[in-house]
Amino acid sequence: MTKKRVFANIFDFATNWSTRLQPAEAEVLQRILDIRVVDARVVQGQELSDRYNICPDQEIVTISNRVFLEQVFYNKQRHLKPQNFKSDNDDGLDDPTVGKGCDFCDPQTWTASETWGRYENEYAVSASNLFKYCSRHGLVILKSHDPFKFSHEQFRGMLDCAGTWFERTALEAESSPSADGLVSHPLLIWNTLHRAGASQWHPHMQTMLQGVPFPTQEKIDAMVMRYAFHPGAPSFYRDLTLVHAAASLVREIRVGDQVAYLFPSLCLYKDMEVQVLGQALLCPAFTRALHLGLRALIEELGSRTYNVGILNLSLGGGGGGGGGGDGIGIGALGWTAMGQNAQTSSMSSVTTSPPNIRLTTATTASTGAGQGAPAWLLGRPVLARIFNRGKVSVKSADMAGLEVMGGSSTGHCDPYDVVQAIDDTVDRLFTSTEATIRVLTPDNL
């Protein structure tokens, strides 16, 4: 994928953004991010210095997201940190179901169903979680056992199943309310392998609906609303995309007249974070973009344990933030998912063709340039976040007091290496004409 590399790495970006970005872009960046390059110094005895060969003068890049209230530290010297809790197993990838059988390979027997039943398509089937977090807690189980091999069609099948679970669970709750009241607050997550919190090897997403907002969602919504009080009432998600486009990190995925934006986060919450913004859960550009991000982490960066979270999901029409006409609402509890309907959910909207993407660069793209941000991006777009959760071969946790108590994290993989992995995945996987991918520049917004 041909592109101009404006910044070599996150250290280059943190040092030079103020002189290389246009003034208007820099102004937007400062509304969202606080970026500092700071020095730290250590004094070492000779034995310590000889053992670890650590530079006594260390450069640390600190990036804070003023809206998400998150922070990341980059320090090249941390790659030399000793790791004392390695597993005896070389790769930590022993499938525990081998020789014992897998519950999720036989979901009709070994998983529960919802009181409204199950939804099933060619690639996935829904279930009710036997060990619930909240009053409505379901599962979406892929009809394939390997957590690392899934096509776009399989992935989209899981999202179709999740959308229908939300739809039918909400409809049922409306007619038979519980003490949880109107369960209008959704969350969709996917944990892969034990380090990411999964209890089963087999790929499965978790769907939740409850009567109060999930705290992270409520925090983000409140801060985005506060962001709009800046002079000129700016749109946070448009500005977030613009800042990452100015950093040359955004890839626009277009399928027909639908677009989605995929980018490694400058202020990642966990390592290798990739974010995807789209109009709706089943918008074809959104599902393509999210699948592309996952394949890049798995195939290019070697991730074997990750979390996916999909936020800003809405029950009721208009969840796409004013995109206009693409979501199908079903009254007060409609599920805004492209091409879906509560009464007739099926796989009819899911393409079964092979990956079908054509690459362009911004200079050769035939559509989109100069058209400005899509309307949905100015509202509350669907937001997906992917986090790598460390190495399965390492026993120590990748989340410690820093993350749990401080709300800060450490960056290992450089965002510019992540975007290179995305571009390499595009070059390797996608070669035809149904969709286009290009580098998004700020003037396209």
- Contact footprint for Zn ion (CB under 5 A): 102, 104-105, 145, 202
* Interacting residues of 53 by C-beta distance below 8 A, sequence separation 6+: 80
Q: How many residues are there in the chain?
A: 445
Query: CB 106 → Zn ion: shortest distance, Å?
Result: 8
Report d(CA 155, CA 346) in Å as an integer. 15
Would you say 142 or 159 has its CB closer to Zn ion? 142
Report d(CA 372, CA 370) in Å as an integer. 5
- 269 with 364: CB under 8 angstroms? no
Query: CB 147 → Zn ion: shortest distance, Å?
Result: 9
Would you say 17 or 104 has its CB closer to Zn ion? 104
- 79 with 412: CB under 8 angstroms? yes
Query: CB 163 → Zn ion: shortest distance, Å?
Result: 23
Q: Which long-range contacts (CB under 8 A, 24 or more apart) does 100-108 make?
A: 102/145, 102/200, 102/201, 102/202, 103/200, 103/202, 104/141, 104/145, 104/200, 104/202, 104/204, 105/145, 105/202, 107/141
Query: CB 102 → Zn ion: shortest distance, Å?
Result: 3
Would you say 66 or 145 has its CB closer to Zn ion? 145
Sheet holding 70-75: strands in order across?
33-41, 57-65, 70-75, 408-410
Cα three-residue angle 205-206-209, rounded to 5 degrees:
145
The residue sitting closest to Zn ion, measured at its beta carbon, is 102
Query: CB 95 → Zn ion: shortest distance, Å?
Result: 9
**Residue 321: left (phi > 0), alpha (psi -120 to 50), or beta?**
left
Write the single-letter amino acid at 292: L
Would you say 194 or 395 has its CB closer to Zn ion? 194
Query: CB 104 → Zn ion: shortest distance, Å?
Result: 5
Query: CB 97 → Zn ion: shortest distance, Å?
Result: 6
DSSP one-letter code for 317: T
Query: CB 144 → Zn ion: shortest distance, Å?
Result: 8
Query: CB 439 → Zn ion: shortest distance, Å?
Result: 39
Report d(CA 249, CA 5) in Å as an integer. 9
Would you say 196 or 247 has its CB closer to Zn ion? 196
Would you say 21 or 142 has its CB closer to Zn ion? 142
Of 151, 138, 166, nearest to 337 by C-alpha is 166
Would you say 110 or 116 has its CB closer to Zn ion? 110
Write the single-letter amino acid at 360: T
Would you say 22 or 108 has its CB closer to Zn ion? 108
Report d(CA 330, CA 171) in Å as an integer. 9
Of 188, 183, 189, nearest to 212 by C-alpha is 183
Would you say 144 or 216 has its CB closer to Zn ion? 144
Would you say 203 or 390 has its CB closer to Zn ion? 203
